[in-house]
């Protein structure tokens, strides 16, 4: 889209002279991701908001489970925070039969679809999906129940998604967190990070440390920050691309509001991690962490990133490192996800709305 209609026509005409193209208009469905556009109230040709949801994939998930969507109870959060999944819940080889293998095969297919849903739109199910994917080789009854519980949460929030908004300046920031030794099977720590633009997530990941963090919570947090390096590298690369093409100035003039200004603020809820990486010194107790701390310190020194302390309840990465009780989860999901797509439903022609959208409104749980 250009800033004027005449410029847009000129671009399309020149493209037609060289290529065979087909005008599809504003994208509304890409790889199962539904995009709802909200026109700007100001006198320009841009949009104020875009809601991204993924109801089609969620409907496929519900349909593939035994009994379909009608047999799944709606839940208000992705998992039962009182249940700790472990490998001791797996089925012993001597108790496995053909029916068990069929159920386990269905479990793997469902988790594979959950991974797609989580990686594209549903940041709020990151930790639950990560835990379910840890038992793909031999899921047991408790793992299956956890899968059904997560499906119930998605059933009640099919149109929950991400709201991207246009502002005077698009601000990029990151959040990182770690849960020390939380895996009961191998005692590895879980880390998570999320980058947001104007408060909306656009890049996130959940993982586990490669070794047991014997240095306490600080070590887990340092390894979590270090795990962000790949996304930080991508952000640094994008900054160079925009600067080399002089797009930062051009895009600002086009009223999109993108600013490639760095540093990127990364919010962390562990003061020891911030202090150790800001002023790395040789400490015999954490000498094995020096390489990780040095990498982080280098980017702090050159102004690429800034580590800022944030209180744990306001750390958006919390949702990716642990099961939260319903109250905590509701608080966390309000900060990162949006139910705005539900409010758009009455504005649509009921006959033109996709079947999964109608089902989403019917199954909707208590709104945020």
Mean pLDDT of the chain: 79
Domains parsed from the chain with CATH numbers: 55-160+337-363 (no CATH), 169-320 (3.30.420.10)
Closest alpha carbon to 118 in 87, 146, 149, 151? 151
* CA distances to 76, 175, 203, 240, 310 from 261, in Å: 39, 18, 18, 11, 22
Q: What is the pLDDT of residue 252?
A: 46
d(CA 232, CA 38): 30
Q: Are 267 and 315 in contact (CB under 8 A)?
A: yes
**DSSP structure string for 225-257:** HHHTHHHHHHHHHHHHHHHHTTHHHHHHHTT--
Q: What is the pLDDT of residue 40?
A: 77
d(CA 213, CA 180): 7
Q: Are 145 and 170 in contact (CB under 8 A)?
A: no
Query: For the chain, where are the E strands, in sequence order?
Result: 29-30, 33-39, 47-53, 162-165, 172-179, 190-197, 200-208, 264-268, 305-309
Using the predicted structure, report yes or no on whether residue 169 has a pLDDT greater than 90.
no
Average pLDDT over residues 257-280: 67
d(CA 366, CA 335): 16
pLDDT tens digits, one per residue of 37-81: 888 777 666 788 899 999 999 999 999 999 888 899 999 999 999
Average pLDDT over residues 100-122: 95
Beta-sheet strand order (sheet of 190-197): 200-208, 190-197, 172-179, 264-268, 305-309
pLDDT band at 227 (very low <50, low <70, confident <90, very high): low
d(CA 62, CA 21): 37
Q: Is 61 exposed, middle or buried (0-12, 13-18, 19+ CB in 10 A)?
A: buried
Q: What is the pLDDT of residue 131?
A: 94
Q: Are 289 and 222 in contact (CB under 8 A)?
A: yes
Using the predicted structure, report yes or no on whether residue 260 has a pLDDT greater than 60.
no
Least confident of 47-51, 80-84, 255-259: 255-259
- Omega before 263 cis (within 30°)? yes
Q: Is the pTM of this model over 0.75?
A: yes
Task: Please name the residue that has the structure tokens 């086009």.
Answer: 254
Q: What is the pLDDT of residue 340?
A: 82
Residue 298, C-beta contacts closer than 8 angstroms, at least 6 positions apart: none
> Phi and psi of 87, rounded to 5°?
-75, -15
Between these two residues, 140 and 283, which has the higher pLDDT value?
140
Average pLDDT over residues 332-358: 71
Q: What is the pLDDT of residue 283?
A: 52
Using the predicted structure, report yes or no on whether residue 132 has a pLDDT greater than 50.
yes
Q: Are 105 and 111 in contact (CB under 8 A)?
A: no
């Amino acid at each position: 889209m250009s800033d004027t209609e005449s410029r847009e026509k000129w671009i399309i005409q020149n493209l037609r002279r060289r290529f065979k193209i087909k005008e599809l208009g504003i994208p509304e469905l890409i790889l199962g991701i539904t995009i709802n556009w909200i026109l700007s109230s100001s006198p320009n040709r841009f949009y104020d908001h875009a809601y991204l949801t993924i109801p089609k994939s969620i409907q496929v998930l519900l349909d593939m489970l035994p009994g379909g969507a009608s047999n799944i109870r709606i839940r208000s959060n992705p998992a039962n925070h009182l249940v700790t999944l472990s490998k001791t819940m797996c089925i012993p080889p001597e108790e496995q039969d053909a029916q068990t293998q069929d159920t386990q095969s269905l479990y793997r297919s469902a988790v594979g679809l959950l991974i797609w849903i989580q990686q594209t739109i549903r940041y709020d199910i990151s930790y639950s999906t990560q835990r379910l994917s840890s038992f793909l080789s031999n899921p047991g009854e408790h793992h299956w129940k956890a899968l059904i519980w997560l499906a119930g949460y998605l059933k009640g929030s099919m149109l929950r998604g991400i709201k991207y908004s246009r502002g005077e300046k698009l601000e990029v920031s990151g959040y990182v967190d770690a849960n020390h030794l939380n895996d009961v099977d191998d005692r590895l720590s879980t880390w998570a990070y999320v980058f947001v633009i104007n408060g909306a997530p656009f890049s996130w990941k959940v993982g586990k440390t490669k070794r047991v963090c014997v240095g306490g919570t600080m070590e887990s947090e340092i390894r979590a920050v270090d795990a962000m390096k790949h996304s930080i590298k991508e952000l640094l690369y994008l900054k160079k691309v925009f600067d080399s093409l002089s797009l930062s100035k051009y895009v600002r003039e086009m009223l999109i509001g993108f600013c490639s200004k760095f540093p990127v603020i990364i919010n962390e809820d562990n003061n020891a991690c911030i202090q150790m990486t800001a002023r790395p010194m040789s400490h015999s107790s954490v000498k094995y962490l020096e390489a990780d701390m040095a990498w982080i310190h280098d980017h702090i020194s050159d102004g690429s990133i800034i580590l800022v302390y944030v209180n744990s309840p306001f750390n958006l990465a919390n949702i990716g490192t642990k099961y939260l009780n319903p109250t905590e989860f509701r608080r966390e999901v309000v900060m990162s996800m949006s139910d705005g797509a539900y409010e758009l439903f009455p504005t649509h022609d009921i006959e033109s709305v996709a079947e999964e959208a109608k089902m989403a409104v019917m199954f909707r749980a208590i709104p945020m």
